[in-house]
């Protein structure tokens, strides 16, 4: 490595997962062309890499928030491009970073301009530790009745608003990042068993999670908020429609009807699953499929019994849909719910539409995932999204989620004191 070349991450090399960093290189020759690289390994041991070629300014410096990438994993000015463009050598790999206690470790390095297929000599290197769990946040595994999840609680006495994070499959990432912002959050998976063993779903089990959150001593909100995406979305809608105490629901790229299995509540079936037609799956050359057109239309008369009656909900909704969602027609489902709520004289919703984003809207600055193995149907699918537009949507949405939950989950000190 060159002793004169310096690679800096500002304001510091250790930060939270959802915090941006400024990447700066100094000590290069005037107008020198170099390659800046990043690499990280996920929880399954898969290595992801990215690279971009830059030309230094007259002072021998490169600022990623100012200077355009000339070629590589992305082009143009992308301050966090090396993070979101990380990808594996093999297709259809999702970056698994779901456990809160271990940071997302990224190695940044600067290399001399590469010749042919060879990686140029390394000039400088620095490690970025991106923590999911903030200082003082507690993480407690929960196994109580039918509630199996992980509870994250911010430091301090509170009172704090309560949020149920409904993941399709277990992930602690979004929950603990929200806890860092001052929410008591229970991460709960919709599917805890193997997909092959999916049984009818019982809304009562998810109601237990709502009740569990309301009983926490540091919780001060009069009701519970829910954050959901994909399959978690129709469960979140159902909780809002049938279960008291749900005050705010964030629905991201979900369905307006029940998907996958019938839904039961209080020992009776309340909703049937929307049928799926595998003949409408579109295979692509990459080996991944587009499944967007497989679900039948929830507005069809014969599917009336699958649609969640959101008009019954007392709380507020934040509907979020992506125009390039290739998993399902989230925009159409959002429009159907908005139309129905208006028809019932309801104005208890906000809607956000990202025309060129894909299905997997996540907390910002993780690797963009265009395709991966689907957890339920067990073959690779395309998620959609223009990478640069999608990751910008993630930054915007992350702020909107926090604002929505804060605005709609008011805390009362007297409620908290009564629990102690």
Catalytic sites, residue numbers: 230, 325, 359
Distance CA 186, CA 408 (A): 18
Instruction: Count CA atoms closer than 13 A to 4's CA, side-chain side.
Output: 5
Task: Give exposure, 136-152, as e/b (b: 16+ Cβ within 10 Å).
Answer: ebebeeeeeeebebbbb
Distance CA 81, CA 89 (A): 18
396 Cβ contact list (under 8 Å, min separation 6): 354
Distance CA 382, CA 282 (A): 10
Q: Which run of H or E residues covers position 153?
A: strand 147-153
Instruction: Check residue 133 and report its DSSP letter.
Output: S
Instruction: Check residue 281 and report its DSSP letter.
Output: P
List residues bridging with 351 in a β-sheet.
Answer: 319
Asked if residue 132 lies in contact with residue 365, where contact means CB atoms within 8 angstroms, the answer is no
- Six-digit token string for 52: 């971009």
């Amino acid at each position: 490595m060159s002793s004169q070349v310096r690679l800096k991450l500002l304001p510091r090399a250790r930060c939270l997962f959802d915090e941006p960093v400024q990447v700066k290189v100094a000590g290069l020759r005037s107008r020198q062309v170099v390659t800046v690289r990043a690499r990280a390994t996920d929880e399954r041991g898969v290595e992801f890499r990215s690279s971009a070629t830059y030309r230094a300014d007259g002072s021998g410096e490169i600022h990623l928030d100012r200077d355009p990438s000339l070629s590589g994993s992305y082009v143009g000015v992308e301050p966090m491009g090396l993070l979101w463009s990380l990808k594996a050598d093999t297709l259809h790999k999702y970056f698994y970073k779901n456990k809160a206690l271990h940071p997302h470790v990224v190695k940044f390095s600067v290399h001399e301009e590469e010749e042919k297929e060879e990686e140029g000599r390394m000039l400088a290197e620095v490690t970025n530790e991106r923590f999911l769990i903030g200082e003082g946040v507690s993480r407690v595994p929960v196994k109580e009745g039918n509630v199996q999840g992980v509870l994250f609680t911010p430091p301090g006495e509170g009172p704090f608003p309560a949020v149920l994070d409904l993941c399709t499959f277990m992930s602690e990432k979004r929950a603990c990042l929200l806890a860092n912002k001052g929410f008591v959050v229970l991460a709960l998976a919709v599917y805890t068993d193997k997909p092959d063993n999916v049984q009818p779903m019982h809304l009562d089990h998810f109601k237990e999670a709502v009740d569990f959150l309301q009983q926490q001593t540091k919780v001060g909100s009069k009701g519970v908020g829910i954050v959901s995406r994909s399959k978690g979305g129709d469960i979140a809608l159902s909780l809002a429609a049938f279960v008291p105490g749900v005050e705010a629901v964030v629905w991201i790229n979900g369905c307006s009807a029940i998907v996958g299995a019938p839904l039961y509540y209080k020992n009776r079936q309340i909703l049937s699953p929307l049928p799926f037609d595998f003949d409408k799956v579109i295979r692509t050359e990459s080996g991944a499929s587009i499944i967007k057109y497989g679900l039948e239309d929830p507005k069809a008369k014969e599917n009336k019994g699958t649609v969640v009656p959101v008009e019954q909900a007392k709380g507020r909704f934040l509907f979020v849909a992506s125009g390039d969602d290739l998993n399902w027609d989230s925009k159409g489902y959002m429009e159907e719910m908005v139309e129905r709520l208006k028809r019932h004289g309801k104005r208890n919703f906000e809607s956000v539409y990202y025309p060129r984003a894909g299905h997997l809207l996540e907390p910002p600055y993780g690797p963009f995932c265009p395709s991966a193995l689907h957890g339920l149907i067990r073959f690779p699918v395309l998620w959609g999204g223009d990478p640069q537009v999608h990751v910008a949507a993630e930054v915007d949405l992350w702020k909107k989620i926090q604002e929505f939950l804060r605005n709609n989950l008011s805390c009362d000190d007297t409620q908290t004191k009564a629990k102690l």
